[in-house]
Amino acid sequence: MEDRLRVEIVEDHNDVLPCIYKAIGRKLIPFENNTLIHFDSHPDMLIPNDLNADDVFDKDILFDAISIENWILPAIYAGHLSSVIWIKPKWAYQMSDQWLYKTHFIGKHIESGKIRVTCLYNYFLSELCYAPLDELENAKPFKLAIFTVDKVTRSRMMPLLEESPNYIVDFDLDFFSTRNPFKSIIAPEHLEILRELFTFTPPTSLDPNGIKNCIENRNEQLRALKEALIGSGCLDNILGDRLRPLLAAGYDRITLFDAGSTFDDSELPHHLASANEIQQMFLEVFRNTIFIKL
């Protein structure tokens, strides 16, 4: 039947992208200007560190470079997605609600050759994904809207969906219940040390100098921590004193850096939902979003 919906089920969330590419190849969805409706406890909107912007157009390199936290922005830069609606549970705080589309730009950073965005949310600033528009080439606009699930209503969603007739509904099951994996690996008192060391300080001003200083400070903060934890950095300093209890506990150093990197001005969501909560969320989703246009 022509009105049936095609459903793909994958294990790792980044494996969604090859499914989208296959759907494009089979002409089930257009090559460009699709809207992604993203149900997830996590934004998944970071950028692969080792991916050059030009390599986005080589699908083999692209699929090898992406992981669960960074598969959406490469698809936007490639032109396949032009809008993202992130619908998040109540315990996800990485970005605040934005019920109307806000337009940002994504492009190739002229100096580094990497993908960068002009979005000034702390989520992007803290991960060094930001660059001003005048430092980008091949820049293209994209739209982003964000809803906490209990704030989704038909009247708020319909104007967004009517802007594009082509959309992909993407569900991560951790939307309903999610675990921060580092909480089961690292003791709470040691996670607190990592929080203090890695916490992101937002810019004091959104003028160009304030943003530039913020990015430079964050870059130096992460560089020093990476050098101390997994490089050859000297630990005979204040930073070394703070890290010494973690290293004495025998944790893997890369795990410590990865765990610390999840702290910006929030942390990875962690909420083990009850059966009743999951049932209530199902009702909220199917009443207010999934069946709006399907």
Residues 131-154 as b or e (16 or more Cβ within 10 Å = b) = beeebbeebeebbbbbbbbeebee
| Rounded alpha-carbon distances, angstroms, from residue 229 to 194, 212, 226, 264 | 11, 26, 5, 18
pTM of the entire predicted model:
0.93
Q: Give the angle 121-122-128 at the CA atoms, nearest 5°.
A: 100
Provide the percentage of residues in the chain whose pLDDT is more than 70: 95
Q: Is the confidence at residue 2, as pLDDT, over 90?
A: no
Rounded Cα distance, 288 and 164, in Å: 18
Task: Give 117's pLDDT tier (boundaries 50, 70, 90).
Answer: very high
Which pair of structure tokens corresponds to residue 73?
Answer: 């922005």
**CA separation for the pair 151, 160 (Å, rounded):** 14
Three-state DSSP class for residue 38? strand
Q: Calculate mean pLDDT across residues 123-151.
A: 96
Is the CA virtual torsion 249, 254, 255, 259 positive or negative? Answer: positive
pLDDT in tens, 7-65: 999 999 999 999 999 999 999 999 999 999 999 999 999 999 999 999 999 999 999 99
Q: Which residue has the tokens 């004193």?
A: 241
Mean pLDDT taken over the chain: 92
Average pLDDT over residues 229-248: 79
C-alpha span between 39 and 175 (Å, rounded): 6
Query: 151 pLDDT band (50/70/90 cuts)?
Result: confident
pLDDT, tens digit (0-9, with 9 covering 90-100), for 171-186: 999 999 999 999 999 9
Contact 170, 42 (CB under 8 A): no
Q: What are phi and psi of 100, to 5 degrees?
A: -105, 150
Site of tokens 């669960």? 68
